[in-house]
Amino acid sequence: MKKEYELIMLAVLVDKTEKEKNRIKELLTKEIDWVEIAGILMNHRLGGYFYFGLDEEQRYVIPKELRKNLNMLVKGQTYEQKFLYKYIRELYDTLENQDLRYAGLKGIIYGATIYSIGMRRSNDLDLLVYEDDLDKLDKLMKQIGYIQGSKKDGKIVEATKKEKLIQRMNYHDLVPYMKEAEDRIIEIDINFLVDGKDNLIDDKVFDMGTSLYEGDYYTFRGLNLITNFAFLICHFYREATGEIWVNNKRNLLLYKIVDIVNYLRHFEDQLDSESVVKTFEKLNILEKALYTFLTIKKFYENEKLINECIKKMSTEYIDLYQKYFEDSVFERYYEDSYNMGR
């Protein structure tokens, strides 16, 4: 692995081992192509992670102008997140205790558990809502000023009934809910399917329960640790393989891999490969999980839980494992990632 790639992939980890910390120190004594680092950090939304991942002294190894830009990026992200947190709290107050099956996803959960404010960029908020409860949700969202629509010239254009129906009948999520707040627009994506329409597992997922995630700035309800992980797998697979995403090269953004690894490391004491594989089998997402694990392994080859799961699957689900055993897709994914598939 190129030393620039290695430095990035190690620095962006929240919970580092001593060995990884020492390797970062060592890498920072070498000649680093900071232009390449800057490009990767910006293109892959990893600037905040990288800045937070180095200590004060190490940050001074970064060339001055890049360091100042990263510092400014973190300040900007902090400002934006503080703003967004107000609306996360409003959402929680609105949805909680309403006999509605819902769960915060991705940034909402990461922000409450893993990442410090300013570390990760969030453009919108993501929720999972049980499909039977969407009407109830709609009424609650309208009460706090949201409408379903799209952005045009800085304004919200309400979606027509036909547009809402096309989205609802054909995708896993709704036309986003939006509201104008101060000088910007808050956007909330509502997912109503954990996986695709050909694998309806939402009953099972909600039956496995939800938990409250308490952060420094807000508390929010999410799925339990394994089902939240299952959602991340389905989401990763969809974006890594979906045509729209692949054509726009958005499938290759590294922060998605970094987020999953940070999540697994943060909760490693509470997740074990036995329960993970068993749950994923129950949810019929083993193949998607294997795809995700093998992709992650290309970037982080020593992740304990990932390796244990792959090992388990290679013995208990031989056919599935064989399907990917010599598949070059993971190699390509790795090679294409850093330069965004150019």
Partner 1 sequence: MVDVQEVVLRLHNELLKGEGIDEESSLDMEMRPRNGITSVTIVSLILDLEEELGIELDDYLIQIRKSSTIGTLIDIVKEAYENQHQ
Rounded Cα gap, residues 192 and 128, in angstroms:
6
Question: Are 218 and 112 in contact, with CB atoms under 8 Å apart?
Answer: yes
**x/- binding map, residues 176-215, to partner 1, per CB under 8 A?**
---------------------x------------------
Which residue shows structure tokens 């799209």? 150
Pick the closer one to partner 1 by CB: 11 or 174: 174
In one-letter notation, the amino acid at residue 91 is L
170 binds partner 1 (CB under 8 A): yes
Does position 166 interact with partner 1 (CB under 8 A)? The reply is: yes
Q: Choose the binding region for partner 1 from 68-76, 87-95, 168-176, 308-316 (rule: CB under 8 A).
A: 168-176
325, containing H or E segment: helix 318-325
Stretch (H or E) spanning 108: helix 107-113
Angle of the 255-266 helix axis to the 286-299 helix axis, nearest 10: 100
Q: Which residues contact 173 (CB under 8 A, 6 or more apart)?
A: 167, 189, 190, 191, 192, 193
Region 248-307 residues binding partner 1, contact defined as CB under 8 A? none
Q: How many residues bind partner 1 (CB under 8 A)?
A: 11
- Shortest distance in whole angstroms from residue 215 CB to partner 1: 33
Instruction: Determine which residue in the list 64, 99, 169, 243 makes contact with partner 1, applying CB under 8 A.
Output: 169
Q: Give strand pairing partners of 125.
A: 188
Burial 172-183 (b: 16+ CB within 10 A, else e): bbbbbbbbeeee
User: For partner 1, which stretch binds (CB under 8 A), given 19-27, 158-166, 174-182, 230-238?
Assistant: 158-166
Do 130 and 192 touch, CB atoms closer than 8 A?
A: yes
* Site for partner 1 contains 243 (CB under 8 A): no
Cβ at position 135, least distance to partner 1 in Å = 7
Stretch that binds partner 1, among 144-152, 163-171, 269-277, 319-327 (CB under 8 A): 163-171
Residue 99 Cβ vs partner 1, minimum distance, rounded to whole Å: 17
From the list 72, 61, 108, the residue with the least C-alpha distance to 88 is: 108
Taking CB under 8 A as the rule, does residue 161 contact partner 1? yes
- Per CB under 8 A, contacts with partner 1 among 105-144 are 131-132, 135
CB of 101 to partner 1, least distance (A): 14
Q: Interface residues with partner 1 (CB under 8 A)?
A: 131-132, 135, 161-162, 165-166, 168-170, 197
